[in-house]
Amino acid sequence: MKYLHTMVRVSNLDESLAFYCEKLGLQVVTRKDYDKGRFTLVYLAAPEDVNAARESKAPTLELTYNWDPESYSGGRNFGHLAYRVNDIYATCQRLMDGGVTVNRPPRDGHMAFLRSPDGISIELLQSGEPLPQQEPWLSMENQGEW
């Protein structure tokens, strides 16, 4: 058995790609529009995983966009996606500067949570040992659900 991908349905492809690519930093591996089925599949990978995703089909995040309007709720029921980052403080600051709410700030220098435009919870984990605790993160309160 081999893990292939995680699929997340999105209600607005442009908004989701802006979030996952421009803000979170993932990269498009492949994109395919299916005219007959009226949907688009976009496969994304973290920068360090792009080559492996293209060469050996390493696991990716699949965004599924159905062209006919649908309402998706209960994103929290999905659980969460998790990504390792090199500097959790810099990553969270970049996301906040891009208008993303960090729902659970990295007070411990190790873990943070945020949500996609469709309510999918995303966990960010510091690579290696936790960074030393520092402000403003140490004093930040949680915001909403994560």
Amino acid code (one letter) for 87: D
72-75 contacts, C-beta under 8 A, 24 or more apart = 72/9, 72/10, 72/11, 72/118, 72/119, 73/119, 74/119, 75/115, 75/116, 75/118, 75/119, 75/120, 75/121
Respond yes or no: is residue 48 known to be catalytic. Answer: no
Residue among 15, 55, 123, 145 flagged as catalytic: 123
Contacts for 97 with CB less than 8 Å, ≥ 6 apart: none
N-to-C CA span, the chain: 30
Q: How far apart are CA 111 and CA 125, in angstroms?
A: 5
Instruction: Cis check for the bond before 136: say yes or no (omega within 30 of 0).
Output: yes
Active site residues: 123
